[in-house]
Amino acid sequence: MHRSLPRLLVFTLFLYTLPTAWGAWSALKSMGTTIVVSDPSCASPVSGTAVCAARSVGQAIVVNQWNGTAWSGWKTVAGTVTSAPTCTADGAGKALCAARNATGGISATVFNGTAWSALTAAGGQTTSGPSCAELSVGKVLCVARSTTGGFTSSIFNGTTWTTFKNLAGSTVSAPGCGSDHAGSVICIATTTTAWNVVAARFTGTAWSTFVNLVGSSTSDRYTCTPLGGTFGTVSCSARGTNTSLFINNFKGGSWAAASWTGWGGIGGTVNPGASCAQAATGQISCGAVASDAALWTNTFNGTSWSGWSSRGGTQIGNPGCTALSAGKVLCAVVGLNGKATSTIGP
């Protein structure tokens, strides 16, 4: 199709080796009987708990809460949305889930630990679903593809949304964003230049320019997640043209392509929307639906990758994974029957 992401493995992070011992993932657990028609997105507002959102048959956001033992079941937040939702914790005990609305803007609902708010319009004009990430404690940045091909974004401070800011560019995909937990958010997307992956950083007040991370991607949904430790501040994933998953870490420092580790492959034959989340400082777990339609996971423990391991099921679409508690990640996925299940590990 296009040139594949580079396969040279420069850092030990990308060594595709099998360690001697790993924790176990739980069996897939039903999240309820409601049928959903989008990939789920999940966030953990308080350690040990999680919320997930998806789009319903009626084109509304439906939400579900994991209390550490059981799912609450899906509940509808009234209002029409036209994209899959994106969820993030705000670092202050709340979670925000947002989606593109019927007028092309962004609408969001906030979970305060007990209840969900009404769906509220943030404004803006977008041509993709948004991706949201914690900017700083109590603040969330939501980013989408703009009507001119760049990024458009707004900050929610817990009460109000800021005026949208635009970053000029020529992207052709929705962004995938992640927090560095130091006051900045990094987003990646596909560009028209040889279908390369580009990245931009929002520093709290302004956008950087786009930097070209090279590599051609067949992702239709990107994820970036905090990493920490010796390998970088943020880890982003993309599917290469060989259908394997590739990882690229921002090491911190100046905003330039040279500040990234470069793409490293971790194998697999995956759908175009894997999801990765921070399990602990310097550790991440990734979930993906593979060519056999099962959910598979792969974990980096700070030294090496576990290798892909099947969680089973017959899935459609892509999983949504979130950090849950120390050393644990929760991944939710929709099955062939339209009903969602989840697993926790490693």
* Topology, domain 12-345: Neuraminidase (2.120.10)
* Angstrom distance (rounded) from CA 185 to CA 202: 5
Find out whether 19 and 346 touch, Cβ atoms under 8 Å: no
Find out whether 184 and 204 touch, Cβ atoms under 8 Å: yes
* Angstrom distance (rounded) from CA 131 to CA 308: 26
- Please give the angle made by the CA atoms of 320, 326 and 329, to the nearest 5 degrees: 15
| Structural tokens at position 110 | 């906030």
Domain range annotation of the chain: 12-345
Which residues face 114 on adjacent strands? none
Helix, strand, coil in percent for the chain, rounding step 5: 5, 50, 50
Give Cβ neighbours of residue 308 (< 8 Å, ≥ 6 apart). Answer: 266, 267, 268, 288, 290, 296, 297, 298
Give Cβ neighbours of residue 254 (< 8 Å, ≥ 6 apart). Answer: none
Integer CA distances (angstroms), 75 to 42, 65, 88, 105, 255, in order: 15, 9, 18, 23, 41
pLDDT in tens, the chain (346 residues): 333 443 333 333 333 333 333 469 999 999 999 999 999 999 999 999 999 999 999 999 999 999 999 999 999 999 999 999 999 999 999 999 999 999 999 999 999 999 999 999 999 999 999 999 999 999 999 999 999 999 999 999 999 999 999 999 999 999 999 999 999 999 999 999 888 999 999 999 999 999 999 988 888 889 999 999 888 899 999 999 999 999 999 999 999 999 999 999 999 999 999 999 999 999 999 999 999 999 999 999 999 999 999 999 999 989 999 999 999 999 999 999 999 999 999 9
Which residues face 179 on adjacent strands? 185
| Structural tokens at position 345 | 């590990």
Could you tell me the pTM of the whole model?
0.92
Give Cβ neighbours of residue 202 (< 8 Å, ≥ 6 apart). Answer: 135, 141, 143, 153, 184, 185, 186, 187, 208
Find out whether 78 and 117 touch, Cβ atoms under 8 Å: no
Compute the radius of gyration of the chain from its Cα atoms: 18
Which residues face 296 on adjacent strands? 288, 310
Which position has the token pair 């870490």?
Answer: 249
* Angstrom distance (rounded) from CA 343 to CA 49: 13
Find out whether 89 and 325 touch, Cβ atoms under 8 Å: no
| Structural tokens at position 269 | 């034959």
* Angstrom distance (rounded) from CA 114 to CA 94: 9
The closest of 308, 311, 290, 284 to 298, measured between CA atoms, is: 308
The closest of 173, 147, 168, 159 to 96, measured between CA atoms, is: 159
